[in-house]
Chain A
Amino acid sequence: MSANSPATRIEPRRSGVPYVLIIPAVVALLAGLAYPLVWQFITAFQDYGLAQQFGKPPEWVGFANFANLVLDGEFWAVLGRSLLFCVVTAFATVVIGVLMAVLMNAVGKVARLILQIAMLLAWATPVAAATTVFIWLFDRRRGVVNYLLDLLPGVDMNRYDWLGHPLTFFLVASILIVWMSVPFVSFAVYAGLTQVSDEVMEAAQIDGANAWQRFWRIVTPIIRPVLSIVLLLQLIWDLRVFAQITLLKDAGSKSGDFDLLGTYIYKLGASANDFGVASAVSIVVLIITLAISWAYVRDLIKEDEAQ
């Protein structure tokens, strides 16, 4: 924060210049996000089905769409599944990402470079291509995963259909997302780790702190801001994954047992044409997102006020 203070020192006379500068960005945000958000909020309280799409004016129904959701078993199933999937995947991503960062920090230059390039490959691969490759890796007849697992003594994975059962379907989805997301986490944490100065670590060592104490007392506080932001982002991103689930469902099963919030909203809106209920689910999701990020946003506001 202190780094920003010299920048704001050029104190202009009250001028319109900054407003002109932010107008394009503000207009873009209003058009692409704010307007749809408002529309969605309104529609969540309306009966907006097929008839409305052909011109019949929507009717206000108050909280009826939400009430329908509360009574709908499928909604609760999807919500519970999504929350569980999101928490497990996000925590796995962050834990593995931190371990990778610590490993990067501990090994020599060559090993680090090799590991970094491997992770960049995973990071750079577009989600559609990555998901397609995972479908091929886990293909039941000729997938290399089943082949390799079959080589283990006592394991019989011959023709095991990973995408045909909800549990293994979400396991594959989770592995895919962890594979794609760990690089961002570990590069961010690694950047944090490189800010830990060697002198401080040596001084602590001379003072008798063991490796564990040095990690908890010196390293952790320095990387904590990085950790909280990456965990928050992972939770938000994993809550309503759409692309991976849609593509995996293409290859697996169309059943509703394989839906998460993202695909569930899509199903309500695109196939069932029930925009009112779909919007209501989106609002629920937005509220969960805000709840997850609330602590972080509150801290930022506080920091901003303290400046």
Chain B
Amino acid sequence: MTLKLGRVVLTVVAIVLAVVWAFPVYWMVNSAFISTAVLQQFTPHFFPGEYFTPSNFAGAIADGSFWGALGMSISITLIVVAFCLVFAFLGAVAISRFKFRGRKTFVLALLLIQMLPAEGLFIAQYKMMSSLGLLNSIIGVSVIYIAAVIPFTVWMLRGFVAGVPAELEEAAMVDGLSRFQAFMRITFPLLAPGLVASGVYAFLQAWNEFTVAVVLLPAEAAQTLPLWLRGFVQASATRETDWGQVMAASTIVAIPVIIFFLIVQGRMTSGLVGGAVKG
């Protein structure tokens, strides 16, 4: 009896926490569908109801720099995902399928680099890109993002490659395939979940990144979506913040990521945890 009661209490606690945790995202979407005139009344509205309006979204998209920022974010993200997947895949194969001099150094370097957050290096990265003439360029930001994302993606993929027993490849080699053929036919197809997980990780990092973008993309014409959102908030705040449009803008930046994340999260979470924990 007490066991059942305890379970009910825990369930209620879990639901309450879920509501608290989801609330900011709910509030963002809720406010995005209510006009600012209504949001400025003192009493908040917990449902759009009769005040429902899609006009905030139209207003946010009509902002002059939205489409440019969207294009910038998409280009950078595609470049980062593509390069990271190829580079990290090759690196992961090297450290999980080969013994070689310097392997330990490489693995340790990957690990140590993960301990260096971007915020400690942005002065030097700014200086480097400005001397190369790569400020406000897609290439400049992408180079930094790729370097920042690679250590973790190698780490993650390493776990996936190591998870496919080399005996399977050996068996195929006994059957007359070359080592390369054996790898491509046996191991590679089994790595699909790992590649998806790493690709999504790279996507999220590149799409959401703010700090490096602030430093390396100072020009208004070269904003990514997070920078556009910041500019949009500031422009709107010159008089009275247009919260309806600002929340619509936040929703536009966040919703694609959230949907994508929810679809693939199972694989990504296990990859993250596996990569971070298995070592």
Question: A149 an interface residue at 8 Å Cβ cutoff?
Answer: no
Q: Nearest-CB distance from A261 to chain B (Å)?
A: 8
Is A107 an interface residue, CB under 8 A from the partner?
Answer: yes
CB-contact partner of A10 in B97, B123, B127, B253, under 8 A: B97
Contact with B along A55-92 (1 / 0, CB 8 A): 00000000000000000000000000000000000000
Tell me, rounded to whole Å, the shortest Cβ–Cβ distance linking B169 to chain A: 7
User: What's the minimum C-beta distance from B37 to chain A, rounded to whole angstroms?
Assistant: 12
Minimum CB–CB distance from B149 to chain A (whole Å) comes to 9
Type the 1/0 row for A11-28, where 1 means its CB is closer than 8 Å to any CB of B. Answer: 110000111011011101
Chain A interface, number of residues (Cβ within 8 angstroms) = 106
A251 at the interface (CB under 8 A from B): yes
Q: Which residues of B contact A106 (CB under 8 A)?
A: 7, 10
Q: How far is the CB of A103 from chain B (nearest CB, A)?
A: 6
- A12 and B146 CA atoms in complex are apart in Å by 30
Determine how close the nearest CB of chain B comes to the CB of A19; give it in whole angstroms: 7
Interface flags, A24-52, vs B, CB<8A=1, else 0: 11101101110111011001000000000
> Which residues does chain A contribute within 8 Å of B119, judged by CB atoms?
240-242, 261-262, 265, 285
Chain B contact residue count (CB 8 A cutoff): 114
| Interface pair A304/B100, CB less than 8 Å apart | no
| A275: contacting residue among B44, B123, B258, CB under 8 A | B123
Q: Is the CB of B15 within 8 A of A286?
A: no
Min Cβ gap A222→B in Å is: 11
**19 interchain pairs (CB within 8 A)?**
A10-B170, A28-B147, A29-B147, A33-B148, A35-B124, A36-B125, A39-B128, A117-B22, A118-B21, A121-B25, A124-B257, A124-B262, A132-B233, A133-B28, A136-B243, A147-B43, A240-B117, A250-B233, A301-B108
Which residues of chain B have a CB within 8 Å of any CB of chain A? 7, 10-11, 13-15, 17-19, 21-22, 24-25, 27-28, 31, 39-40, 42-44, 83, 86-88, 90-91, 93-100, 102-104, 106-109, 111-113, 115-117, 119-128, 143-148, 150-151, 154, 161-163, 165-167, 169-170, 179, 204, 207-208, 210-211, 214-215, 225-227, 229-230, 233-234, 237, 241, 243, 246-247, 249-251, 253-254, 257-258, 260-262, 265, 269-270, 272-273, 276-279
